[in-house]
Amino acid sequence: MPPSVIRPLRLVGRLLAATAAVVGLVAFFLALVVATDGAASGFPAWSATAGVAVVAALWRGRRRSWRGRLVPFLPVLVAVTLTLSVCVPTVPTAYRPPPALTFVTTEHWRLSTGSRVAVYHYPPTGNSPRHRVPLVYLHGGPVRGISVLDHHFLQRLAGQGYDVYAYEQAGGGRSDLLPMDRYSITRSVHDLGAFAGKLGRGRVDVLGFSSGAAVLTRALADRATAAHLHRAVIAEPGPMDGPTAGMTGRKGRPSARGIAPATAGPRSTHIPRYAVAFGLMRLGLLSPATGLVGQAEGVNAFTAADLGSDTASAYCAKDAHRIPVEDTERTFSFSAAASLRIQQTIKDSPSIAPQLRRSRTPAMLMIAECSSQVRRWGTTILANDPAVQRTQYMPGVGHHMWNGLDDNDRRAAAVITAFLQDKPAPLPDRPTRAGIPAFLRDHR
């Protein structure tokens, strides 16, 4: 074989060997990160990787000239630099909550559970009759800030005479963080009861959305918390317990996920440190309490663009190119680690169906046409809670049913207020308990 062919082949071989060395060292580093649960920001894993790499490079160059001994260190340098980027924070490690909103005052209440939560109050406005029972909003997330779109919807309800209160669940938005092992679905339920008790207005109506609807469902099954509830609106619920979380099957009609334009703005997942941390947590290879990225740093790093595909899944496919901005970079807050921790406690919890069957709190279930939620999550509540008085199937909307598009806010408000006032429903009662099999079969 002529030298003109041999030289390029040798170069390609060396490049492949160097690439394999880099990939092997990075894989070794990640394995150590997983094995140590990211202890000390990953530096022990990095130190061990760097040590092994240096020893291997010295061994490979032991019979070479001094210049030849430097060659094996090139992939070591690349691998050490790449892995070091996973260990060095690029955002503040102390918690930085979003700045105050300009259109509503943020209060902070210390609950009897120990949680210190951010509270927003929209007193009744407009010419509508005032409603005696306060309305409390439980947002989705689970551990995130209340979106600006949600605030606008709450203002609409206040304009119809409702005294509206909302609080960001512990660890989300402007609320204080909890130690990671304190987050649980049970803590979220107890916080709701403590909030209603601190409000001191007797029983309250509660509107729970998404994961907030799951908290509300479990509150209906908890005798002490249910004693604080007057009426419950369960909107697009997540799974209520371990058996429900394991359910699969049909969701709603097609959402905008995968067809909506990419969300603009910076992404933490484009930075190696947070891409590794959030990716391994999502895969279950790192615990939510991982030492790789602290809770506060994780909240500071996570951006609205990181939830782009999840945001798109909350809208119908027809709305893919007009999805509204739910939050700005300044108002957005999401704790991926705490959210995963709460979701895991739901998965680990036993069935609450026996307790839910004893519920006597009047309730309504809301289901969106283009829902990204598993249909059986909602229908299981309907089947097991005898106090669910009506189900409203909301046509033309996705998971985020009130979103500022068209007349979606007006229609959602009409359904909610009709139930809270015990007036006839604006929409047919669908599905009924007897109609659940047909509803699931018809791919509604």
Token pair of 26 as six digits: 């990075």
> What are residue 118's DSSP bridge partners?
108, 168
pLDDT for res 392: 98
Cα gap 359→350, rounded to integer Å: 17
Q: Tokens representing 427?
A: 């929409």
pLDDT of residue 57: 75
> pLDDT at position 221, please?
98
pLDDT value at residue 327: 87
What pLDDT is stored for residue 301 in this prediction?
Answer: 95
Q: Where are the alpha helices (DSSP H) in 230-294?
A: 242-245, 272-282
Packing angle, helices 73-87 and 43-60, rounded to 10: 180
Sign of dihedral through CA atoms 291, 296, 302, 307? positive
Say what the pTM is: 0.92
DSSP string of 389-402, one letter each residue: EEEEEEEEEESS--
CATH 3.40.50.1820 in the chain, residues?
107-263+308-441
**Whole-angstrom Cα distance, residue 266 to residue 224?**
44
H or E stretch at 309: helix 308-312
Q: Provide the β-strand partners of residue 390.
A: 364
pLDDT given for residue 16 in this prediction: 73
What CA–CA distance (Å, rounded) separates 15 from 342? 46
User: So what's the pLDDT on residue 132?
Assistant: 94
> What pLDDT, on a 0 to 100 scale, did the predictor assign at position 176?
97
- Point out the residues of the chain with pLDDT beneath 50: 9
Homologous superfamily (CATH) for 107-263+308-441: Alpha/Beta hydrolase fold, catalytic domain (3.40.50.1820)
- pLDDT score, position 361: 98
Residues 6+ apart with CB under 8 A from 238: 140, 210, 211, 213, 214, 346, 373, 377
Write down the pLDDT at residue 170: 96
* pLDDT given at position 257: 93
